[in-house]
A and B are shown apart, each in its own frame.
Chain A
Amino acid sequence: MNTPLHLWLIPLLPLAGFALNSILGRGLPRWLVTTIGLLAPLGALIVVLNAARGLIGYGAGLPALPYVETCPNPWIALGSLRIDFTLALDQLTLVMLLVVTGVGFLIHVYSVGYMKDDPGYARYFSYLNLFLFFMTTLVLAGNLLLMFVGWEGVGLASYLLIGFWFTKKSAADAGKKAFIVNRIGDFGFLIGIFLLLSNFGTLSFANLSALVAANPAWTGGVFTIICLCLFIGATGKSAQLPLYIWLPDAMEGPTPVSALIHAATMVTAGVYMIARTHFLFDRAPIALLIVAIVGAATALFAATMGLLQNDIKRVLAYSTISQLGYMFLACGVAAYSAAIFHLMTHAFFKALLFLAAGSVIHAMGGEQDMRKMGGLRKKLPVTFWTMTIAVFAIAGFPPFAGFFSKDAILYYAFQQGMNGKILYGVGLLTALLTSFYMFRLWYMTFFGETRSHDAHPHESPWSMLGPLSILAVLSICGGWIGYGEGLGRFGEYLAPATGKLPEIAATPHLELILSIVAVLIALEGLLIADKYYRRKPERPAKVAAAMPGVYSLVSNKYYVDELYGAVLVKPLLFLSRYLLGWVVDLGIAGGVAWLLAGLANFGGAILQRWQSGNIRSYAAWLAAGAAVVLLFAMTISAGGWAQSLQIILKAMGR
């Protein structure tokens, strides 16, 4: 006897939290807002944990995966097309849900401390719950259209939270930028959905995968186009080239938001979407190659941009883009489980990095510039140690989580023939850069002398340090489940949902050799950072002076924002302002409106004379009108003037 899992509660509990806090939050006492804001994700987490209890061997009474809950009434029913509100749970969904609700709940707890003195406390929690609602909808959706609803919804929540401090112009602008850039990607996603609908007539993942599996001859062609459209959507949401530009600016939002939305969960939606539709991508080798190339290029490009940033959150933002590039690289070599594995470990250590950075910022009274930090090791011990774990994890040192997942991606890339070797090289170079800039951040923040004397750093409250500690444990242990051949137990568990990992011809010790190379590379990054930012802090300035051109190019992020501004935004604005604004809006649309208004005005000016206000003239018109009606009646009833006159004369002459 299988007990239902009540999946519908997972999105609806956060929605209820959003409704309560957004409608009543202003008037409620703070402790009640906190309770509502925390209970909603906690409830969702409990439902997820219940569904996931099979993972630790208490699966008695659990339904078999994939498990589906469908609302009995259809959402859209048009002819033969029927789209339902379907929530589907399989292994991939479960892993994603654990990450989203688990990390999400920890960040909710952290926010209680971080946002303690903010006047928009209730608004903040309502938005955070709203985000969780849409994110769980996205993850649980059983068809692409419902996924798209969640997809758009997380974009909305992201916009609201980036612009949370909307009185600050840069924050409001960053929100708009994120929203608009995402629209471009979403357009591609939508086209992909339409193409799927017109070619296959269904949007349900289960039906689509069954249909594709039943026709092994289908390959390339329309699959390539559909996959590329879906991938455009993924580049927007997951901040890949060329649509990555919104993510660094999104750091204007509160730091827990950066941790939850712009590092751990929302930006990984693109990776999730590709893993979810992997049966389509498997039939489109060209699209897969493009995914891999874009992923690798983004990883390298973003890593170089992270090298010289001085804002602690921006360094992390570029590193997020870079790590997402790794995930797409893994997708591109058809190692979807490896991508999801890295997604999970990345969620742990990147959320930890952001939260620790938030703790530093909190301690420094809002200061985000690393040049004004330094020497915080002694003053913020818990933050320091958790941050250290996260830095070692992202740099790829064993036995931390990042080592296992990054290593798996590089390993599977290496196996893909000649292209794979190049991708592997790019990935390795990125690993070096990643290790360097992360240790640079570590040294600049926690070591050396305190460079700011205005701030009086103090350790954060336990509501913030608790989540940090839990995430630190996860950042250490999170990778162990993926140890072994074919990602070990993790790969084995995910295989029914994301397909088997590529078969690899057994080469003795290859994986071990590659691991050692990766560790050496990470160590090299650590040593360079150590030399430049601890032992000889005057060196970076000298290097910068030696190569002024390269230095300004990199520290200005290759002028990509400026390039987009000149190539895309300026012409668009020009077009909007002059062609659309003046010619179409003022000229054509406005002209027609003015013409109609002018005609009415002109007619009114003439008719106005009748409304003289003079009663006598009204009476005269009345009499004239009556006479006209009378004459008209006479001509009609008597059949003409002449005859009526005759009748009158005849009557008189009688």
Chain B
Amino acid sequence: MDLLNQSVPLSWFLLLSAALFALGIVGFLLKRNIITVFLSIELMLNAVNLSFVTFAHQWHAVKGQIFVFFVMMVAAAEAAVGLAIIIAIFRARGTLAIDRIDLMKR
């Protein structure tokens, strides 16, 4: 692990995290397919996870690692529920285009 610490500076991890997060946002905002949007949200969660892990390593503190577990757990639950909803929507409406699912607004 020292090798890793030595060869790759902290800021690179953070920049990677920021880049992943930005990608997630862009995907969330621009994509029409619900599954893609869903994956973008997962991407953002994992970008945050990455920075948690990075800082935990940097400061030799275990709290960040623990938070990552929490986030992963929530993400897993969300995936289960979310995917179930997506399947239900697809069965009911025959589409996954997010703009078409706007009955509540009417």
Whether a CB of chain A sits under 8 angstroms from the CB of B23 is no
Chain A neighbourhood of B15, CB < 8 A: 652
> A-facing mask of B5-19, CB < 8 A → 1, else 0?
000011110010000
| Interchain CB contact under 8 A, B29 and A613 | no
- Name the CB-closest residue of B to A653: B9
Whether a CB of chain B sits under 8 angstroms from the CB of A606 is no
- Name the CB-closest residue of B to A613: B105
| Interchain CB contact under 8 A, B29 and A648 | no
| Interchain CB contact under 8 A, B28 and A648 | no
Chain A neighbourhood of B29, CB < 8 A: 616, 619-620, 623
| Interchain CB contact under 8 A, A619 and B9 | no
Interface centre among A613, A616, A619, A620 (most CB of B within 10 A): A616
Whether a CB of chain A sits under 8 angstroms from the CB of B25 is yes
Whether a CB of chain B sits under 8 angstroms from the CB of A535 is no
A652 to B15, CA, bound (A): 10
- Name the CB-closest residue of A to B22: A623
Chain A neighbourhood of B12, CB < 8 A: 652
> B-facing mask of A630-654, CB < 8 A → 1, else 0?
0000000000000000001001101
Q: Which of A616, A619, A623, A648 contacts B11 (CB 8 A)?
A: A648
Chain B neighbourhood of A652, CB < 8 A: 9, 11-12, 15
- Name the CB-closest residue of A to B37: A616
- Name the CB-closest residue of A to B30: A616
Q: Which of A613, A623, A648, A654 contacts B25 (CB 8 A)?
A: A623
Chain B, 75-106, CB within 8 A of any chain A CB = 105
Task: State the interface size on chain B (CB cutoff 8 A).
Answer: 9
- Name the CB-closest residue of B to A648: B11
Shortest beta-carbon distance, A646 to chain B, in Å? Answer: 12
A623 to B18, CA, bound (A): 13
Chain B, 1-50, CB within 8 A of any chain A CB = 9-12, 15, 25, 28-29
A616 to B11, CA, bound (A): 30
Chain B neighbourhood of A616, CB < 8 A: 28-29
Shortest beta-carbon distance, B59 to chain A, in Å? Answer: 16
Shortest beta-carbon distance, A141 to chain B, in Å? Answer: 70
Chain B neighbourhood of A620, CB < 8 A: 29
Chain A, 600-632, CB within 8 A of any chain B CB = 613, 616, 619-620, 623
Shortest beta-carbon distance, B8 to chain A, in Å? Answer: 11
Shortest beta-carbon distance, B47 to chain A, in Å? Answer: 13
| Interchain CB contact under 8 A, B9 and A651 | yes
| Interchain CB contact under 8 A, A619 and B28 | yes
Chain B neighbourhood of A613, CB < 8 A: 105
> B-facing mask of A335-375, CB < 8 A → 1, else 0?
00000000000000000000000000000000000000000
Chain B neighbourhood of A651, CB < 8 A: 9-11
- Name the CB-closest residue of A to B105: A613
Shortest beta-carbon distance, A629 to chain B, in Å? Answer: 15
- Name the CB-closest residue of A to B9: A654
- Name the CB-closest residue of A to B32: A616
Chain B neighbourhood of A619, CB < 8 A: 25, 28-29
- Name the CB-closest residue of B to A650: B11
Shortest beta-carbon distance, A292 to chain B, in Å? Answer: 85
A613 to B29, CA, bound (A): 14
- Name the CB-closest residue of B to A630: B18
A647 to B71, CA, bound (A): 30
- Name the CB-closest residue of A to B104: A613
Shortest beta-carbon distance, B48 to chain A, in Å? Answer: 12
Chain B neighbourhood of A648, CB < 8 A: 11
Chain B neighbourhood of A654, CB < 8 A: 9
Chain B, 59-77, CB within 8 A of any chain A CB = none
Shortest beta-carbon distance, A342 to chain B, in Å? Answer: 85
A619 to B11, CA, bound (A): 27
Shortest beta-carbon distance, A598 to chain B, in Å? Answer: 30
Shortest beta-carbon distance, B55 to chain A, in Å? Answer: 14
Chain A, 220-251, CB within 8 A of any chain B CB = none
Shortest beta-carbon distance, A456 to chain B, in Å? Answer: 76
A654 to B11, CA, bound (A): 10
Chain A neighbourhood of B9, CB < 8 A: 651-652, 654
A266 to B56, CA, bound (A): 93
- Name the CB-closest residue of B to A615: B98
Report the 5 A-B pairs with minimum CB-CB distance, sorted nearest first: A651-B11, A623-B25, A652-B11, A620-B29, A654-B9
Interfacial residues, chain A to chain B (CB-CB below 8 A): 613, 616, 619-620, 623, 648, 651-652, 654
Given pairs A616-B28, A616-B29, A648-B11, 15 additional interface contacts (CB within 8 A): A613-B105, A619-B25, A619-B28, A619-B29, A620-B29, A623-B25, A623-B29, A651-B9, A651-B10, A651-B11, A652-B9, A652-B11, A652-B12, A652-B15, A654-B9
List 12 interface pairs A-B (beta carbons < 8 Å), by A numbering.
A616-B28, A619-B25, A619-B28, A619-B29, A623-B29, A651-B9, A651-B10, A651-B11, A652-B9, A652-B11, A652-B15, A654-B9
